[in-house]
Structure 1
Amino acid sequence: MDAAFVGLVVIVLVALAFDYTNGFHDAANAIAVAVSTKALTPRVALALAAVMNLVGALLSTEVAKTVGAGIIDPPEGNNGLEIVFAALIGAITWNLITWWYGLPSSSSHALIGGLVGAALAAAHSVQWVGVLEKVIVPMIVSPLVGFGLGYLFMLALLWTFRRAHVSKANRNFRYAQIVSSATMALGHGMQDAQKTMGIITLALFTAGEIDTFEVPFWVVLAAAGAISAGTYAGGFRIMRTMGRRIIQLTPTGGFAAQTVASSVMVTTATVFAVPVSTTHITTTSIMGVGSTRRLSAVRWGVAGNIVVAWVVTLPAAAAVAAVAFFLTELAVG
């Protein structure tokens, strides 16, 4: 069997492993708030998130094309496959480190950082304009949008239901959270599963298995299945951080945060086709909603630790990917 083909198979399997870790790492994004407000039990929430991740992953491939062809120039030959492999190792390693410590870092930025780090280590060209416009700017803007919309939407709900009976309103918003949780998971599938599709398509294109950068349907199905399986495996460490340590939300607040976050994720995937971080958007939406009580209601120390993880993710994943590339070169050479 041809060594290049074996390498391609290994990369596809590693990419699906990353997709799986993405699922259990970021499962908390879709369900932590609903679980913390007791709208859903953890296992029911995970099952709902897994199904909706699958549906979301099947709806579009625009983000996949951005990740696969808009961050680095498509590499060629075995060296190109080594770049893709090293990028995945960097992303998976950072995912596992932050999962272990319960930090909701961005799997998206870990993957993009891995691509950039591996490309630089291989002296391969990086599309810096694409990184700026499709990664850095959305990384800064989308959390601000999440915070601002979370704050405003929560204020609108508080004013609209200001005369409602509290216990009855909480019960109804718990039901509403089932819908908002499903929409969150849909947006997660539309964003995060597509990033793995983009990486696998990049590997196929690099190996000459496909002639144009179009995502094959089997890649869509494989990536959708992997992220759904990972989501159902659960992410309880991060769920505790997202659901309770930042701020303890009411059912109304949980519905507001999830509605805002899912709206931003779906819009960025369908309208702008940019790979935003579901973790960043969800976290800042929660902060925005919590700030309507009072600024001190948000545990800013925990939030600060999360922000540090955000800032470190791109360079850390890039560094691990660069080391992985050099080790791969030694092993192959």
Structure 2
Amino acid sequence: MLSATLLIVAIVVIVALVFDFTNGFHDAANAMATSVATGALTPRRAVALAAVLNVVGAFLSTEVAKTISGGMVDDSFVTPEMVLAGLCGAILWNLLTWLLGLPSSSSHALFGGLIGAVLVGAGASGVHWPVIVSKILLPAVVAPVVAGLAAALATRAAYRVMRGADREGGARMFRAGQTVSASFVALAHGTSDGQKTMGVITLVLVTGGYQASGTGPHLWVIVAAGLAIGLGTYSGGWRIMRTMGKGLVEIQSPQGFAAETSSSVAILASSHMGFGLSTTHVASGSILGSGLGRGTEVRWGTARRMAYAWALTLPAAGAVGALAALLTRLGTGGSLLVVVILAVFSAIIWRVSRRAAVSHANVNEQSDVVVLARPGADSVADLPEPETATSRR
């Protein structure tokens, strides 16, 4: 007979993979938005390439997974029900920000949901606050700034190289380079975000008594998490890709190459050190930095809305996780009720999104919600506009 604990663990594993899928389509823009915006890659090819490399990246390292499974919270206090509640907070925040086209952090949504659920279920002693500060909060502040500065310097260097070169030939060269740089970002995303779901599943296996504390993810967990984030990436996440590619700055191929290279270096370095970094924050910082480095206009209205979403992610997901944790106290029935509520709200968000659908066919169209708040002038001559997938229709 199926025990209540095994039932809850199985449900949490499934919900964790659902979160991983939402992470994939929510963050697909991190790797490919600039390449799609400049025409270096068509939308469909971009997400297919990103999906494959996300899966590959998930196999390269497990340091971030260890931070999630054993560093962020005390697994001796955590129960599978708390993990379920935390995942609900993360999924709902991911879906809401995706609906609004806001590139918020799937990672921070997961962290916030888990922290809120553990605070309700186990109290403050269940959270390792020094780890939260050193491996989550500080990187969230420092990494986007560092990536932005690096992208600004790299963009200036790229345009200096372009001054004495044939403009059309240079544009083609950088667009070809973007295929490589975007691939590295997708690979880096897999090494970072792919591991977070591995860490969650490992955590619930430990708390359910099906795995020893302090051990890393099993091979089947790595495979399942890698495939889930890959499938999510392949589904597109077009709303956020539009914001990243067209909503912050008008991106040319040298900028895109500089931004992607800066992002991949920052993400790979943080993954190696086990930081729970937000790839969304890093990619956004790089794109903004590339715009400043080129001297073009930055749409500060969009950047401001993104910053609000970043600030709200941890507390908002934490609040939902805390409320869900209260429901799980009702027993197995309460946990099943949490899953039903999650499914209902997810379905509502999906139905609302269909009213103004964004797909590969219109991802490069300018978003209606963008506000131009601070115009500026290019410091260098514009490169030829590339032929995009939209213009070829």
TM-score category, normalised to shorter length: over 0.9
Show CA shifts across 1:230-271 (max 9, x none). 00011000011000010111011101100100110011111x
**Would you say the 8 A contact 2:262–2:286 is kept in 1?**
yes
Aligned residue number for residue 111 of structure 1:
110
**Would you say the 8 A contact 1:74–1:206 is kept in 2?**
yes
**Would you say the 8 A contact 1:71–1:115 is kept in 2?**
no
**Would you say the 8 A contact 2:151–2:293 is kept in 1?**
no
Show CA shifts across 1:272-301 (max 9, x none). 11010010000010000100233x611111
SS state at 1:161 partner: helix
Amino acid at match of 2:286: S
Show CA shifts across 1:32-81 (max 9, x none). 110000011100000000000011001010000011111110145xx611
Aligned residue number for residue 346 of structure 2:
none
SS state at 2:286 partner: helix
**Would you say the 8 A contact 2:65–2:216 is kept in 1?**
no
* 1:63-102 paired onto structure 2 within 5 Å: 63-75=64-76, 80-102=79-101
- For residue 184 of structure 1, report the CA deviation from its aligned partner: 0.8
Counterpart CA distance in 2 for 1:42 and 1:143 is 25
Aligned residue number for residue 219 of structure 1:
221
Counterpart CA distance in 2 for 1:246 and 1:72 is 35
Aligned residue number for residue 317 of structure 1:
317
Aligned residue number for residue 281 of structure 1:
282
Counterpart CA distance in 2 for 1:292 and 1:32 is 18
Indicate whether 1:293 and 2:294 are aligned. Answer: yes
Counterpart CA distance in 2 for 1:228 and 1:185 is 10
Indicate whether 1:204 and 2:205 are aligned. Answer: yes
**Would you say the 8 A contact 1:25–1:99 is kept in 2?**
yes
SS state at 1:252 partner: helix
Aligned residue number for residue 13 of structure 1:
14
Counterpart CA distance in 1 for 2:4 and 2:120 is 22
Q: Indicate which of 255, 258, 273 corresponds to 1:256.
A: 258
Aligned residue number for residue 378 of structure 2:
none
Aligned residue number for residue 187 of structure 1:
188
Counterpart CA distance in 2 for 1:92 and 1:58 is 23
**Would you say the 8 A contact 1:108–1:192 is kept in 2?**
yes
SS state at 2:254 partner: helix
Amino acid at match of 1:301: G
Aligned residue number for residue 308 of structure 2:
308
Counterpart CA distance in 2 for 1:93 and 1:239 is 19
Instruction: List gaps (5 residues or longer) in structure 2.
Output: 335-393
TM-score normalised per structure 1:
0.97
Counterpart CA distance in 2 for 1:155 and 1:273 is 31
Indicate whether 1:267 and 2:264 are aligned. Answer: no
SS state at 2:211 partner: coil
Amino acid at match of 2:223: L
- For residue 331 of structure 1, report the CA deviation from its aligned partner: 4.9
* 1:120-199 paired onto structure 2 within 5 Å: 120-124=119-123, 125-199=126-200
Counterpart CA distance in 2 for 1:85 and 1:41 is 37
Q: Indicate which of 229, 246, 249 corresponds to 1:247.
A: 249
Counterpart CA distance in 1 for 2:157 and 2:68 is 36
Counterpart CA distance in 1 for 2:240 and 2:51 is 17
- For residue 160 of structure 1, report the CA deviation from its aligned partner: 2.7
Instruction: List gaps (5 residues or longer) in structure 1.
Output: none
**Would you say the 8 A contact 1:116–1:126 is kept in 2?**
yes
Amino acid at match of 2:170: A
Amino acid at match of 2:6: F
Aligned residues: 329
Amino acid at match of 1:297: E
SS state at 2:209 partner: coil
Amino acid at match of 1:252: P
Structure with the greater alpha carbon radius of gyration? 2
Counterpart CA distance in 1 for 2:76 and 2:26 is 29
SS state at 2:132 partner: helix
Counterpart CA distance in 2 for 1:139 and 1:4 is 35
**Would you say the 8 A contact 2:86–2:116 is kept in 1?**
yes
Show CA shifts across 1:61-114 (max 9, x none). 0000011111110145xx611111101001001001100110000000000001
Counterpart CA distance in 1 for 2:16 and 2:225 is 9
Amino acid at match of 1:306: M
Amino acid at match of 1:179: V
Counterpart CA distance in 1 for 2:156 and 2:10 is 51
Amino acid at match of 2:154: F
**Would you say the 8 A contact 1:29–1:282 is kept in 2?**
yes
Q: Please identify, of 28-37 and 115-124, the stretch whose mean Cα deviation from structure 2 is larger.
A: 115-124
**Would you say the 8 A contact 2:155–2:294 is kept in 1?**
no
- For residue 123 of structure 1, report the CA deviation from its aligned partner: 3.0
Aligned residue number for residue 238 of structure 2:
236
Counterpart CA distance in 1 for 2:198 and 2:110 is 12
Amino acid at match of 1:97: L
SS state at 2:104 partner: coil
